[in-house]
A and B are shown apart, each in its own frame.
Chain A
Amino acid sequence: MSCMNHKHILQIKNLSVSFTQYEKGLRKIDLKVIRNLNVSVGEGELVAVVGASGSGKSLLAHAILGILPRNCDAEGNIWFEDELLSPKRIEELRGGKIVLVPQSVTYLDPLEKVGRQVRKEQDEESVRTKQEELFDFYKLPQNTADLYPFELSGGMARRVLLTTAMMESPRLIIADEPTPGLHLEAAKKAMSHFREFADKGNGVLLITHDIELALEVADRIAVFYAGTTVEEAPVADFQSVDTLRHPYTKALWRALPQNGFHPFPGKQPYAKDMPNGCPFGPRCPQLTPECEGNIQEQLIRFGRVRCIHAK
């Protein structure tokens, strides 16, 4: 189920996110942390965005929801259910049709009790019941509602964050690293919850650095490197290194335990010292002089790749 024959829930084209910073001497610089990013989620699809720490995954989520910091600007187009989104429309959709599972407990107000926070300060019986059911579902003791965020363990906090998303009836869930700190069982439960949700015809954008997790639940995987998606491939392509397209994806594949655990030295460049042309150039075994030019995204075997030598 990889091709473009079903309806899109989310479609992002040419998204760039940049910070305006002032260097010494008040020189204004634009720090582009996400560039020309494309990614889409179809009906019934769970798409994983996989990337190393600092590659811009959280910013991607925040850009979709229109909650970037003040000194940060996003460019590009985002469609939700085939409607091109304006900032105003995003404001209407977020928290309803589009929900976020944030990355850490700092996204909870430290001075408000967890239950009230999950209920968005609503006290109606129906809301209360829903919150209690969700706490049961995630095996959170009912007294959790009366705790403050600082009293939660890492795993509990993670589950509370998951319940906030399920309180709504969304079409799209954007989950930013929803599993670290969870026991295997709880992580699996969360993932199967996402899977069921997608199977009902909804969409999930799962942001993670854990490629193995992504391989287990996702339909498609978008590989994120230095602020852009270098490859977007159906999960089946990850069965063999030969069906993968980008040298970085291949390196990730080889680094997996079941594929020999080959370490891959080096780290992705920081936005400030991005190389010319292909951002992967400095680490790429197939680097040629042409790689320093403009790298267009190409469509190969139902997957997209940003590498001029990809086959």
Chain B
Amino acid sequence: MDIGPYSGILKYIGKSIIKIISLLIAVSILSFILVSASPVDPVRAYIGEVGMANMSAENLARLEAYFGINTPPIERYWNWFTDFIQGDMGSSLLYRQPVSSVIQVKFMNSMVLMMTAWLFSGLLGFILGIVAGLYRGRWIDKAIKGYSLLIASMPTFWLALVLVMIFSVWLQILPIGLSVPIGVNAAEVSIFDSIKHLILPALTLSVIGIANITLHTREKMIDIMGEDYILFAKARGKSRFSIIRNHALRNIMLPAITLQFASISEIFGGSVLVEQVFSYPGLGKAAVSAGLGGDAPLLLGIAVISAALVFGGNLIANLLYGIIDPRIRRGSAYE
């Protein structure tokens, strides 16, 4: 079937979506196996040691049924799966709410955090990487590279602690954790407060991301500056400025897009740690609690949503490639 000039790209999108869906199923199965195989007894984790001791056998049995302990795993997964494709993500055992509403709230919190970090680290990392690559070997490159290597080798929680020490303990200008002030009614939280509570976690996440993107962009920039077409541009007497503007920046865009979208998964991973350190009530923190508490529906929901985001990011990156790279746009790489 030919659907006009866009048939190639539509076919490509279709294929990608099918691929993403199969990947998502794989992710859900994998996460399910992981929670099922977890040594954590969800009931015990839920009511605690003391609760267990005081509970009647009857109530215990009811709770076990609630957590689905006695249903065979395959059946449990199948039940979850059939509900899920009908739009029902089940109920979180820990939060006693539909998974979709838990995820919605956490997701919004995390999204603000991650988007800020993603854009900030992408933009700054891109600029720093280009500058370092262009001035390779000069002092500015050494400074940027040294700084990035230092940050990249720092554990996330450690960096978070350093930032907390500086901004919350010494300078006392930013709150330590949580997304809202303690003891304030959620409805009364001002935007200003939310932003203040966002700054440290977002800063931590960005600083880590910047280092990574800077180092990669720098490498790519160095490669590009050694390419034949840059040599030839020099041989034709073009100014350094014109070479950078017309050739270097144009060609760095492609790897930059790849890097930027590939960093989504890293930001996700980083956010789990950062949210934990700052007790920031986002997806990452919820995932950790769900994992530790044996809350399979919530964990599965979070895993699938996060994976969908990461894969979706990759798809967008590939589509952007198609727009920017004439070899793909005019060639037949989508076929």
When distances are taken between beta carbons in the complex, the residues of chain A under 8 Å from B247 are 109, 112
Cβ B229 vs Cβ A148 within 8 A: no
Cβ B231 vs Cβ A109 within 8 A: no
Taking a contact as CB atoms closer than 8 A, the residue among A70, A107, A148 that contacts B232 in the complex is A107
Cβ B226 vs Cβ A67 within 8 A: no
Q: A148-B327, A151-B330 are in contact. Are A109 and B233 (CB under 8 A)?
A: yes
Q: Tell me the complex Cα distance, A144–B122, Å.
A: 37
Closest to A148 in B: B326
When distances are taken between beta carbons in the complex, the residues of chain A under 8 Å from B233 are 109
Main secondary structure of the interface of B (DSSP, over half): helix
* Interface membership of A96, Cβ < 8 A: yes
- Give per-residue flags for A85-127: 1 if the beta carbon is below 8 A from chain B beta carbons, else 0: 0000001101110011010101111111000000011000000
Closest to B137 in A: A70
Q: A112-B246, A121-B242 are in contact. Are A150 and B327 (CB under 8 A)?
A: yes
When distances are taken between beta carbons in the complex, the residues of chain B under 8 Å from A62 are 231, 235
Most chain A Cβ neighbours within 10 Å, of B226, B237, B242, B327: B237
- Give per-residue flags for B216-259: 1 if the beta carbon is below 8 A from chain A beta carbons, else 0: 00000000001111011111111000100011001100000000
**Count of chain B residues near A, Cβ 8 A:** 23
- Give per-residue flags for A52-72: 1 if the beta carbon is below 8 A from chain B beta carbons, else 0: 000000000010011101100
User: B106 → chain A, closest Cβ, in Å?
Assistant: 41
Q: Tell me the complex Cα distance, A91–B239, Å.
A: 10
When distances are taken between beta carbons in the complex, the residues of chain A under 8 Å from B242 are 120-121
* Interface membership of A164, Cβ < 8 A: yes
Taking a contact as CB atoms closer than 8 A, the residue among B231, B236, B327, B331 that contacts A164 in the complex is B236
* Interface membership of B64, Cβ < 8 A: no
Most chain A Cβ neighbours within 10 Å, of B231, B232, B234: B232
Cβ A110 vs Cβ B229 within 8 A: yes
When distances are taken between beta carbons in the complex, the residues of chain A under 8 Å from B238 are 95, 120
Q: Tell me the complex Cα distance, A229–B242, Å.
A: 36
Q: A121-B246, A148-B330, A150-B326 are in contact. Are A107 and B251 (CB under 8 A)?
A: no
User: B323 → chain A, closest Cβ, in Å?
Assistant: 12
Q: Tell me the complex Cα distance, A111–B246, Å.
A: 9
Closest to A103 in B: B228
User: A241 → chain B, closest Cβ, in Å?
Assistant: 38
Cβ B237 vs Cβ A110 within 8 A: no
Cβ A107 vs Cβ B250 within 8 A: no
B181-205 contacts to A, CB under 8 A, are none
Q: Tell me the complex Cα distance, A104–B228, Å.
A: 9
* Interface membership of B266, Cβ < 8 A: no
B100-149 contacts to A, CB under 8 A, are none
Q: Tell me the complex Cα distance, A2–B12, Å.
A: 64
Q: Tell me the complex Cα distance, A95–B238, Å.
A: 8
When distances are taken between beta carbons in the complex, the residues of chain A under 8 Å from B228 are 102, 104, 106-107
Q: Tell me the complex Cα distance, A91–B330, Å.
A: 36
User: B269 → chain A, closest Cβ, in Å?
Assistant: 32
When distances are taken between beta carbons in the complex, the residues of chain B under 8 Å from A108 are 229, 232
When distances are taken between beta carbons in the complex, the residues of chain B under 8 Å from A66 are 234
Cβ A95 vs Cβ B236 within 8 A: yes
Cβ A109 vs Cβ B251 within 8 A: yes
When distances are taken between beta carbons in the complex, the residues of chain A under 8 Å from B251 are 109-111
Q: A62-B231, A150-B326 are in contact. Are A99 and B236 (CB under 8 A)?
A: yes
Q: A112-B250, A148-B326 are in contact. Are A120 and B331 (CB under 8 A)?
A: no
Cβ A67 vs Cβ B326 within 8 A: no
Most chain A Cβ neighbours within 10 Å, of B226, B236, B325, B331: B236
When distances are taken between beta carbons in the complex, the residues of chain A under 8 Å from B327 are 110, 148, 150
Cβ B250 vs Cβ A96 within 8 A: no
User: B67 → chain A, closest Cβ, in Å?
Assistant: 56
User: A147 → chain B, closest Cβ, in Å?
Assistant: 9
Cβ B235 vs Cβ A95 within 8 A: yes
Q: Which 7 A-B pairs have the closest CB atoms?
A: A95-B237, A107-B232, A95-B236, A106-B228, A148-B326, A109-B229, A67-B231
Q: A67-B232, A94-B236 are in contact. List 8 more A-B contacts (CB 8 A).
A: A69-B226, A95-B237, A107-B229, A108-B232, A109-B247, A148-B326, A148-B330, A150-B331
Which residues of B approach A to under 8 Å, CB–CB?
226-229, 231-238, 242, 246-247, 250-251, 324-327, 330-331
The contact sample of 22 A-B pairs, CB cut-off 8 A, is: A62-B231, A62-B235, A67-B234, A70-B226, A91-B237, A92-B237, A99-B236, A100-B236, A104-B228, A106-B228, A107-B228, A107-B232, A108-B232, A110-B251, A111-B250, A111-B251, A111-B324, A111-B325, A112-B247, A120-B236, A148-B326, A148-B330
